[in-house]
Amino acid sequence: MVNVLVTGGAGFIGSNFVRYALDRHHDWRVTTLDKLTYAGRLENLQGVMEHPRHEFVKGDVADPGVAAPLAAAADVIVHFAAETHVDRAIMSAGEFITTDVYGTFVLLEAALQNPRLRRFVQISTDEVYGSISEGASLETDELKPRNPYSASKAGADRLAYSYWATYQVPVIITRASNNYGPYQFPEKIIPLFITNAIDDKPLPLYGDGLNERDWLHVGDHCRAIELLIDRGYPGEVYNVGGGNHVRNADLTRRILQLVGKPETLIQPVADRPGHDRRYSLDTSKLQAIGWHPQVPFEQGLDDTVSWYRRNEQWWRTIKDQDPEFRKYYERQYGGSAS
Ligand code: NAD
Ligand code: TYD
């Protein structure tokens, strides 16, 4: 059996990966380590909590008492655990440093004590390149993060690399573009706008709405990680992008069309401070080892809208019942989008 430790496995991408991994690899035993922050939810792991090859451990990746024994028993580590929302980082960055940077350090230190570790996959992000006005970022490009989230991720990205360069911990770094799909916490633009539209609430579009993101279906991201565990080279960085470059205003209109709601729901609001204008990735390095995105954006977005329609209970528990979310929403959007 291959022991796979997944940190942050109760979050959006992590839970999709845990489900995918258990389904695809019958010789993998998966341990999920997750602190269950506001973004981590056991409901995201529904259907696999009782799986005979899956164990869930509640704990902090930055706590060596929890993280070290799990890392010591792993053949593969996939490190998703992080604070992930740019707007929350702008409000308060402390947790981003303790989890994204220090937590990664703790896990790397633990990995260093495990001579049989085959892969340490550091889940980084395209946001570490910063905003690029044209062209596509290459893995060799300079990192120019511009907000506390992307800066903490850049720190973790380079820290992970340093454990390869210095100690030969078999680190692989992925830099994925914006993900979308089922179980995404409804603070990020796609699930927030789908669920606000369903409820006829305003869709708070930042600034002029012309900021551009490259959308990647979470299933395509999971397939990329799977391939890299098998065929990626330690010490290397791999961009993972869907190649779907969409401006926020166009994305918003597409969501409204799919939900069947009028464009009058679009509510222009003040811009995000330091808002990165555009991300775009060159993915030829990953494509050269056999990965290609499989989910066309139109199809993926349509499926995602259907998922949020079918799983109202999941997001209503967060949006309508969780006081933490209501407080965050009020603080972020004030009266402008309620
Ligand atoms: P998410 O916010 O949905 O989930 C994060 C998970 O990490 C949650 O389950 C949370 O409880 C857990 N966590 C947070 N702090 C922890 C700690 N100290 N110890 C243990 N667990 C902790 O995030 P996501 O969107 O699934 O992102 C997962 C990873 O992918 C992150 O590293 C993120 O930077 C990266 N990434 C995300 C995107 C995207 O578009 N969502 C794109 C590129 C890269
Ligand atoms: P988000 O989903 O927060 O991801 P990221 O900041 O990591 O790219 O935001 C995606 C884009 O959508 C980004 O340009 C900011 C914009 N946005 C809005 O216009 N309104 C919103 O309410 C949110 C959450 C995001």
Ranges under pLDDT 70 in the chain: 335-338
SS3 state at 213? strand
264 assigned to some structural domain: no
Predicted local distance difference test score (pLDDT) of residue 305: 98
| Smallest CA separation from ligand 2 atom 10, residue | 189
| CATH number of the domain within which 113 lies | 3.40.50.720
| Parallel, antiparallel or unpaired: strands 179-180 and 212-217 | parallel
| Smallest CA separation from ligand 1 atom 28, residue | 80
State in Å: Cα 263 to ligand 1 middle.
31
**Interatomic CA distance for residues 224 and 164, integer angstroms:** 21
**Interatomic CA distance for residues 330 and 338, integer angstroms:** 8
Predicted local distance difference test score (pLDDT) of residue 336: 61
Tokens found for residue 240: 């993972």
Tokens found for residue 6: 């997944």
Our CA dihedral for 205, 216, 141, 292, rounded to 10 degrees, sits at -160
**Interatomic CA distance for residues 179 and 321, integer angstroms:** 25
293 assigned to some structural domain: no
State in Å: Cα 260 to ligand 1 middle.
31
The atom of ligand 2 lying closest to the CA of 207 is: 19
Predicted local distance difference test score (pLDDT) of residue 214: 98
**Interatomic CA distance for residues 171 and 122, integer angstroms:** 7
186 assigned to some structural domain: no
Which of 141, 110, 106 minimizes the C-alpha distance to 127? 141
Contact indicator for 13, 83 with CB cutoff of 8 Å: no
DSSP code of 96?
A: I
Domain that holds residue 224: 2-179+217-240
209 assigned to some structural domain: no
Domain count, the chain: 1
The pLDDT tens digits of the residues spanning 274-306 come to 999 999 999 999 999 999 999 999 999 999 999
Burial of 112 (0-12, 13-18, 19+ CB in 10 A): middle
**Interatomic CA distance for residues 173 and 236, integer angstroms:** 6
Predicted local distance difference test score (pLDDT) of residue 229: 98
The pLDDT tens digits of the residues spanning 188-227 come to 999 999 999 999 999 999 999 999 999 999 999 999 999 9
| Parallel, antiparallel or unpaired: strands 212-217 and 244-247 | antiparallel
Q: List pocket residues of ligand 1, CB cut-off 6 Å.
A: 7-8, 10-14, 33-37, 39-40, 60-62, 80-84, 99, 103, 123, 125, 153, 176, 178-179, 185
199 assigned to some structural domain: no
The atom of ligand 2 lying closest to the CA of 275 is: 14
207 assigned to some structural domain: no
59 assigned to some structural domain: yes
